[in-house]
Amino acid sequence: MAIIKCPECGHQVSDKAPTCPSCGVEISGKVVRCHQCGAIYFVEHDACPICSYPNTQQKRGNAASVPPPVPPTENQPQNEVSQPKKPEKKSHYGIWFFSILMAAVTCGVLFYFYHTAKDSKEADAYNYAITSEDPLVLQSFLDTYRDANTNRRDSVKARLTAIQQAARDWEDACASRSKTTIQKYLEKYPNSAHKGEALNKIDSIDWEKAKNLNTEQGYEEYLKEHPSGAHVDDADEEIKNLRMKYLQPEENTMLQSLFRRFFQSANARDEEAMKASLADVLQQFQGEKNVPAAKVASFMRRTNWRVMGDYKIAKKPTETDEAEYDVKFTVVQEDGSEAQKNPSKYFVETKVNSEGLIVEMNMSRIVE
């Protein structure tokens, strides 16, 4: 027994096998090996199909297989001789048809999975692009999926156009340096990626305006518009500096009330009330230094005084971020009689500390 190649399909098969298990052709006794080249072919061939060497085995087989003449029967003509039947060769068309059908089905299945995978990849790319704010991502989708679904391409194109327009509007708003233009941009694009930057630009514009005004009202307006702005601390500091530098209405009221109470107490001969408006020791009084408050009250109670109300107040900041005040005004000395025609006038120069107490007082008579 030897292993040979089936001359029909080429698959390996035993030379003793009745038929080829692959294609079904008969093998045992039906094939011969060429003595010249060793090729296996069907015994019915006259010569080797490879090298054309004559098939000697066929001749021997034919001679041995010729049957003796059979006398004709009564119903059979004498000249009619029965011929041996050749073995029927099986048809291979069914095998080829089945192979082609299987190949077609396989290609169809592969094409289906390929198309499904491609569509899934395209859908993922579309979902990513349509939610992106990056124009490069959108353009990449259009360049990569040129044969994509028309609705998808149109949606991506529309979004790309909108993002590009928004980018141009942002550039115009930045170039304008106008608060109104930037606010219009935010109204048009409330969810813009540049929203934070736009708000910072408005904050800077309002702060620059407040700095140029350099008024308490200007800084307070900034704080009202930007309670959490980048310059809140700066605005508070500037307001504090302005209030330290310039006399505030409440300070003016406080100082006038201080001197009105002091001179009213003098007219009432109330030394305790006068001392309540004085520091314990005045730095200077009528040219004398370090004068006790009691001595000042005793001096001022001797006569009546009338404050003219012509205050001139200068505010001076101190090293401790507090304020002192230089207050100048005129008073009239009265004796309480109706016959007094030309009462004496005095020019009063005082200094008030940050606690609202008089620390210096000098009075000089005005000669008219």
pLDDT (average), residues 149-155:
91
User: How much is the mean pLDDT over the chain?
Assistant: 86
| CA 303 – CA 264 distance, rounded (Å) | 11
What local confidence, expressed as pLDDT, does residue 90 receive?
57
| CA 58 – CA 35 distance, rounded (Å) | 13
DSSP secondary structure code for residue 246 in this structure = S
Per residue in 96-139, pLDDT (tens digit) is 887 888 888 888 877 777 767 667 888 999 999 998 888 999 99
Q: Provide the β-strand partners of residue 316.
A: 324
pLDDT (average), residues 345-365:
95
| CA 175 – CA 173 distance, rounded (Å) | 5
Q: Cα–chain-centroid distance for residue 243?
A: 42
For 72, the token pair is 């004709």
What local confidence, expressed as pLDDT, does residue 116 receive?
73
What local confidence, expressed as pLDDT, does residue 91 receive?
58
What local confidence, expressed as pLDDT, does residue 157 receive?
94
Per residue in 299-341, pLDDT (tens digit) is 999 889 999 999 999 999 888 878 999 999 999 998 766 656 7
pLDDT (average), residues 75-97:
59
3-class DSSP state of 126: helix
pLDDT confidence tier of residue 343, bands split at 50, 70 and 90? confident
pLDDT (average), residues 334-354:
83
Residues 126 and 150: beta-carbon distance below 8 Å: no
What local confidence, expressed as pLDDT, does residue 88 receive?
56
What local confidence, expressed as pLDDT, does residue 65 receive?
45
What local confidence, expressed as pLDDT, does residue 29 receive?
83
| CA 219 – CA 287 distance, rounded (Å) | 43
Q: How many CB atoms lie within 10 A of CB 313?
A: 16
| CA 285 – CA 276 distance, rounded (Å) | 16
3-class DSSP state of 338: coil
Q: Residue 329 contacts by C-beta under 8 Å, 6 or more apart in sequence?
A: 259, 307, 308, 309, 310, 311, 312, 348
pLDDT > 80? residue 73: no
Which residue type sits at 318? T
pLDDT confidence tier of residue 266, bands split at 50, 70 and 90? very high
**More confident position, 160 or 72:** 160
Among 77, 37, 32, 81, which Cα is nearest to 58's? 32
pLDDT confidence tier of residue 64, bands split at 50, 70 and 90? very low
pLDDT > 50? residue 80: no
| DSSP-assigned letters across all residues of 163-221 | HHHHHHHHHHHHHHT-HHHHHHHHHH-TT-TTHHHHHHHHHHHHHHHHHHH-SHHHHHH
* Alpha helices by DSSP H, 9-92: 56-65
| CA 151 – CA 113 distance, rounded (Å) | 23
Percentage above 90 pLDDT, the chain: 52
pLDDT (average), residues 287-307:
94
For 6, the token pair is 């089936």
| CA 129 – CA 140 distance, rounded (Å) | 9
3-class DSSP state of 81: coil
How wide is the angle at C-alpha 95 spanned by C-alphas 94 and 99, nearest 5°? 115
What local confidence, expressed as pLDDT, does residue 351 receive?
97
Q: Residue 39 contacts by C-beta under 8 Å, 6 or more apart in sequence?
A: 33, 48, 49, 50, 51
Percentage above 70 pLDDT, the chain: 88
pLDDT confidence tier of residue 63, bands split at 50, 70 and 90? very low
Q: How many CB atoms lie within 10 A of CB 163?
A: 17
pLDDT confidence tier of residue 53, bands split at 50, 70 and 90? confident
